[in-house]
Structure 1
Amino acid sequence: MFSLRTARRCASTVSRIRKYSTVPEAPTDPGEYCRQLVRKHDYESFLISKFWPPHLQDGYFAIKAFSNELAMVQDNVSLPTIGAVRMQFWRDAVRDIYDDRPPRHPVAIALHRATQTASLPPYHLKRIVDARDEELQTTSYPTSDALVAHAESVSSSVLYLLLALRGLSSAEDLAHAASHLGTAQTLATLLWSLPHHVAQRRLPIPLDICARHGVKQEEVFREGGGAVGIDAAVFDFAVLANDHLLTARDVFKGGKVPGVAVPVFLAGVPVASFLEQLERVNFDGFARSLAMRDWRLTWQIWSGYYRRVF
């Protein structure tokens, strides 16, 4: 039989699971909920939204809000089991969205509306959920290839969905560019958030890169930017991100992105901007200036849109 202490512990766990598996009361405007969520947690994407056609902006924000909801799970739960419950909620939500019975969650409702106006493959949504679920159990990646595969599953899948929103899902060259751009996007995001991950005792730089420069996890957790070899490892990681960015650009053979696809590929502008900032601080991934938003980014996005480059 359960002891009173065990019963209380189970009740506490159930309570926490309910807390993280219940959904917010659906607002009168799920689109506005998604817009504000992206504005708060993904400001670069919010800036890019201005260059999407008005009739597609709700779908854009729904996809981006879905991505952000899942990305934040790792930091918003205290137990892996609670995170697993939240992931299962979204796995079920994707199924129910395509069965025309979305749960009463504003992001799910907004996504369902998007599927009514565009052909969004459910595969990509499921792939994002599965990758974020695996991420809950991951504190580091053994190889660069393993991390690239993860990046493809999360950020590249979002770009595939955005291509579908623009009616471009059958364009293989655009999908190839999106694959590499999404990878570069994930790697740059991990570099930008390196101090945060280290504070949580996670090392986003793949272990093969760390081993190449004699970087030891425990020393990084203890010393941060003072750890032996960390700047050299950051440099190699940044080179990997930049290689994927350049490969995405090479798809267009040095030319311009097709006009209809430009809003999708503007996601590369913040990536390039951050990598330039990182180079200016000599690849010190713990430099405080990296946490500051680049005041030129709005202009860079505007310029990228009108020049059709990223």
Structure 2
Amino acid sequence: MEEFEFARHHRLHLDLDDHIPAFLFLLSASHFGVRMSTRTFLANRQRCILRQLPKSRHSRGLRQYATDSPQAYCRDLVRKHDYESYLVSQFYPKPKQDAYFAIKAFSVELAMVPDNVSNSMIGQMRMQFWRDAIKGISAGRPPKHPIALALHQASETANLPPYHFKRIVDARDAELQAPSHLTIDTLTSHAESTSSTVLYLLLSLLALPSSTLSHAASHLGVAHTFSKGQMVIPAEITAKHGVNQEEVFRTGPHAAGIEEAVFEFATVANDHLITAREMLNADGMGGRVPPPAIPIFLSAVPTANYLGRLEKANFNAFEPRLQLRDWKLPWQLWRSYYKRQF
């Protein structure tokens, strides 16, 4: 089985030229017969730069927490590591924004665990901390961690089901053991347990118990996971198009089959986005999002923006401009909010 050992053990990211992160391809298909060793990977450093993600502020110890309120800490974490969500926050009702940042910071914190630990055992200890934290929050005894404290305050004013938080933790824990996916179905299941579940929490935050909105949010979460700037393309797609991992590292966008694999993967993401839109049409909403739910579905705008730019780049996932922030995104968010469409 072909493995990306750096991704498995150190979670390093592949950068191009001026440290702009490219797609991280974890091609772990058993269909491939070549094993890429660390030495082989480093031999190609003239074409790529490896860096380990810097530690975030929240990894420096508990003393740092005393300088920030839990809400300010969560807001700062989201602004630094999930800027699109930070932009979307401005469209939430002011009284709900602190809770929004708490939920998003929780998601960011768990997503970054693999990048901030040296081995999966330490990562599992982090995940167990959050399982215990969720129980403590439910019992009114949150640990002295800014995100946990912020979530506790949010749960006092909104019904945030603990099982949603636990589902996210379990999915991220499983990801520590298997960071790559063999099939689209397994990646879809992971996306539903992470990105989609975050949207379920936001629906609960805004007290929107609608099955139509929940189903649409499920597809939207999958589309978001599939279209992140750092993608994990399932082995069934890479094997189908004959993508070879060593060739990807050696020649980048010129590797055989890589463009076709990216195209197929992006098409799946776009299909989920279209399905979410169609569900609003089928339910008599005329394709428009109900006003109270608009902030939640604005998360589709960065996804659609990225897929559109990827298409303009002829599905070249190594195009550096794809990793830059699009100056038009804030305007696109405002337009989507005004039209109640995504």
Q: Assess same fold via TM > 0.5.
A: yes
Once the two structures are TM-superposed, the CA of residue 222 in structure 1 deviates from its matched residue by: 3.9
Q: Which has the higher helix share?
A: 1
Once the two structures are TM-superposed, the CA of residue 25 in structure 1 deviates from its matched residue by: 2.8
Q: Is contact 1:48-1:266 (8 Å) kept?
A: yes
> Mapping of 1:1-310 within 5 angstroms?
23=62, 24-168=64-208, 170-189=209-228, 192-194=229-231, 204-253=232-281, 254-310=286-342
Structure 2 residue runs of 5 or longer lacking an equivalent are 1-57
Query: Residue by residue, what CA displacement relative to the aligned partner does 1:229-267 show, whole Å, maximum 9, x if unpaired?
Result: 011100000000000000011111152100000000000
Once the two structures are TM-superposed, the CA of residue 27 in structure 1 deviates from its matched residue by: 4.3
TM-score computed with the length of structure 2 as normaliser: 0.79
Distance 1:268 1:56 in 2: 20
Once the two structures are TM-superposed, the CA of residue 163 in structure 1 deviates from its matched residue by: 0.2
Query: Residue by residue, what CA displacement relative to the aligned partner does 1:175-216 show, whole Å, maximum 9, x if unpaired?
Result: 000000000001111xx124xxxxxxxxx1001111110112
Distance 1:230 1:124 in 2: 35
Q: Is contact 1:26-1:104 (8 Å) kept?
A: no
The amino acid that maps onto 1:215 is V
SS in 1 for 2:74: helix
1:5 is aligned to none
Q: Is contact 1:184-1:245 (8 Å) kept?
A: yes
TM-score computed with the length of structure 1 as normaliser: 0.87
Q: Is contact 1:20-1:85 (8 Å) kept?
A: no
After the TM superposition, which parts of structure 1 deviate over 6 Å for at least 4 consecutive aligned residues?
A: none
The amino acid that maps onto 1:249 is R
Distance 2:180 2:93 in 1: 39
Residues 84 and 224 of structure 1: CA distance in aligned 2, closer, same or farther (over 3 Å): farther
SS in 1 for 2:65: coil
The amino acid that maps onto 2:191 is A
Structure 1 residue runs of 5 or longer lacking an equivalent are 1-18, 195-203
The amino acid that maps onto 1:30 is P
SS in 1 for 2:118: coil
